[in-house]
Amino acid sequence: EAGVTQFPSHSVIEKGQTVTLRCDPISGHDNLYWYRRVMGKEIKFLLHFVKESKQDESGMPNNRFLAERTGGTYSTLKVQPAELEDSGVYFCASSQGLETSPLHFGNGTRLTVT
């Protein structure tokens, strides 16, 4: 089966610009998560979709971040306008959502805001 894929793998933008990250989960996985790792710190939860609905967005840092999951398939995470502190690696993961289900991760998008 195809794994979780993320685009782009790297993005370098200037402060104030907009960037959109995309995630394609494993087919059939209703649960999709976004995480972020900043400067070697822990992987922090951003939000969780079940199908097209936002189940939990408590980790979204502020209203400059907007996530969508059209039709319950792929998801996008838009940062507008980007700030320096948004730099980091953004991971997407999907799972079957059972209690013991592992998360399947994409390779991440490394975002650098200059």
Partner 1 sequence: GDSVTQMEGPVTLSEEAFLTINCTYTATGYPSLFWYVQYPGEGLQLLLKATKADDKGSNKGFEATYRKETTSFHLEKGSVQVSDSAVYFCALSVYSGGYQKVTFGTGTKLQVIP
Instruction: Select from 10-18, 20-28, 42-50, 60-68 the region that touches partner 1 (CB under 8 A).
Output: 42-50
Can you tell me the distance from the alpha carbon of 60 to that of 40, in angstroms, rounded to the nearest whole number?
Answer: 19
Among 12, 73, 80, 97, binds partner 1 (CB under 8 A): 97
β-partners of residue 85 are none
Q: For residue 28, give the DSSP letter.
A: T
Residue located via tokens 């490394």: 110
Among 17, 26, 43, 64, binds partner 1 (CB under 8 A): 43
Q: Does 31 bind partner 1 (CB under 8 A)?
A: yes
Instruction: Select from 20-28, 33-41, 67-75, 77-85 the region that touches partner 1 (CB under 8 A).
Output: 33-41
Among 18, 73, 80, 101, binds partner 1 (CB under 8 A): 101
CA distances from 63 to 2, 45, 59 (A): 32, 16, 11
β-partners of residue 41 are none
Sign of CA dihedral 9, 14, 15, 18: negative
Residues in 55-94 that interact with partner 1 by CB under 8 A: 55-56, 91, 93
Could you list the residues that contact partner 1 (CB under 8 A)?
A: 4, 6, 31, 33, 35, 37, 40-45, 48, 50, 55-56, 91, 93, 95, 97-108
